[in-house]
Every structure is written in structure tokens, then in C-alpha cells.
Amino acid sequence: MNIVLFGAQGSGKGTQAEKLVATFHCHHISSGDIFRDAFEDGSELGRVAHSYIERGELVPDDITVEMMLQRITQPDIARAGFILDGFPRTIAQAKALDEGLAKLGREIDCSVYLDVPRAELIKRLSGRYICKAHQHVYNVRTNPPKVAGICDIDGSELYQRTDDQGSAIEKRLDIFFSETIQLLDYYRAQNKLLHIDGNRDIDEVSADLIEKLKKYLSR
Ligand code: AP5
Ligand code: MG
């Protein structure tokens, strides 16, 4: 199964993707995680992407599409299926994704929109910490680690993303609610949209999401 998970910054894409992978045993592919890994590795892609990310802006479509299609079309990933987290984020990216998959005889099965109001998003982002080793996600208020500052899963140190500080948060949300939100119409027109109320406890959201997704995929 091939799923697109989209929602504003802080809506819980990364958090819910981890839960979906545990249930559906497919790959979690996060464009933001790939860009951050590339920056840590000191690659040219990482350096270019970082300059956009720290300003809270989108990385240009051509760079993003090439990187993501390269990943998605790897044989093991195409075979097991994937959950896309953070990609596509523009109509141009969504079209390029559909075209890239069509060349492999594949398609997106379902697009999930995690709906969370703006005021709640700002609260969540300012309390988020992620781990250095694998970018596992925590929140000082709603989802704290067992030991402060340390990842429960791999023991690595937790840190705050630079784009979760200062004016970048508002800029990212503005881009989402003016541009990325257009994906709602794009996937609705394809009859592939699942709307999920993301403004509930993490476990409540995942139980509802998994149940609705199972029902949707067995139609
Ligand atoms: P990316 O890393 O994708 O960041 P984002 O879109 O800003 O999304 P977030 O990771 O901030 O939010 P999330 O929905 O994953 O929420 P999370 O689960 O962490 O992208 C970073 C940057 O890369 C972009 O700004 C852009 O520059 C670039 N980029 C990436 N993809 C691109 C593309 N396709 N095109 C162009 N540029 C691209 O949860 C947030 C917090 O809330 C956590 O602390 C969590 O513990 C907590 N939480 C989660 N769910 C709940 C809940 N139900 N209740 C309470 N707390 C919760
Ligand atoms: Mg994320």
C-alpha cells in the first residue's frame, strides 16, 4: 500500500507514521528527515536544503521531487509499499509523484489529511524535541521521554529543531495553509482523501486512523 500523510507542521505526521509502520509493515519516508540526514552527512543536497529549511521555506520542487522519486522507486521500497510524510507539498510535486509511480505501474492508494487547528500546532511545535540518531519525536508536554533529554528507543540525545524556534514556525504554517492545503482538492478529485481529526490524544488519533485506513483499503 502507498499512502500520503499530509497535514500542517506539528499535525503529527511523523508521530502517526511511526505507528502506521508498526501496523502495516511498510516504509516510512519523510522528506524532512531525508533533508536533515543529508545535512548531517555534509552532502551538497543537505547544504542547499538547509538554507531553505532554516528560513522555514520550501525546498524547490525540482530538488525535492528528484530526491523523493529516487527513494520511492528503489525496488525494496516499491515492493513493501510506503507512507510518505511531508511529500508532496505542492500540486506540482503531487503531479510528479503520480507520473513517477505510473511509470512503475503503481499509484497512491490513499491520502490522509491530519486536521489540527493552528493554535494547537504552535503549542506542539514549541514543545517538540527529536533524537539525534533516528529523529524519533517527543514533546515536553504531551509525549515526554522516560528520561529527560534521552530517546526512549535508541538512547541518543534529544534536541530542538532550528525551524521550531522563532519566526520560522509562523512562516511554515503560512505556507501550509496557503499552498499545501490545495492538496485537499487534488486528492478529493481523485476520490482518495481520508480526513482525520488530528486534534485528539496521540493514541486516539492512531486508533481512528488505523481503523479508517483498514476499512478504506479493503473497499
Ligand atoms: P518536515 O520535517 O516535514 O517538517 P514539517 O512539515 O514542518 O512537519 P513537522 O515535522 O514539523 O510536523 P509533524 O506533522 O511531523 O509533527 P510531529 O509528529 O513531529 O520538513 C521540514 C522542512 O523541510 C520544511 O519546512 C521544508 O523546508 C523542507 N521540506 C520537507 N518536505 C518538503 C517538500 N515536500 N517540499 C519542499 N520542502 C520540503 O508532531 C509535532 C509535535 O507534537 C511533537 O512534539 C509530537 O510529540 C506532538 N504531537 C503529535 N501528535 C500529537 C497529539 N495528537 N497530541 C499532542 N501532541 C502531539
Ligand atoms: Mg515530521
pLDDT on residue 173: 94
Is residue 149 within 8 A of residue 157, CB to CB? The reply is yes
One of 13, 19, 36, 124 is an active-site residue; which one?
13
Q: What is the pLDDT of residues 112-135, one digit of tens each?
A: 999 999 999 999 999 999 999 999
Could you give phi then psi for residue 80, rounded to 5 degrees?
-80, -20
Lining residues, ligand 1, CB within 6 Å:
7, 9-15, 30-32, 35, 52-53, 56-59, 64, 86-89, 93, 124, 127-128, 137-139, 142-143, 163, 172, 200-202, 205
Between 205 and 166, name the one with better pLDDT.
Answer: 205
Q: What is the pLDDT of residues 13-35, one digit of tens each?
A: 999 999 999 999 999 999 999 99
Task: Indicate if 172 belongs to the active site.
Answer: yes
Q: What is the pLDDT of residues 147-193, one digit of tens each?
A: 999 999 999 999 999 888 888 889 899 999 999 999 999 999 999 99
Quick one: which of 90, 112, 128 has its CA closest to 10? 128
pLDDT on residue 57: 93
Task: Indicate if 36 belongs to the active site.
Answer: no
Average pLDDT over residues 96-114: 95
Tell how far the Cα of 168 is from the centroid of ligand 1, in angstroms: 13
pLDDT on residue 46: 94
Is the pLDDT reported for residue 90 higher than 80?
yes
Task: Indicate if 219 belongs to the active site.
Answer: no
pLDDT category at 75 given cuts 50, 70, 90 is: confident
Is residue 175 within 8 A of residue 55, CB to CB? The reply is no
Alpha carbons 193 and 203: distance in angstroms, whole number = 21
Is the pLDDT reported for residue 78 higher than 80?
no
Task: Indicate if 89 belongs to the active site.
Answer: yes
User: What mean pLDDT is reported for the chain?
Assistant: 94
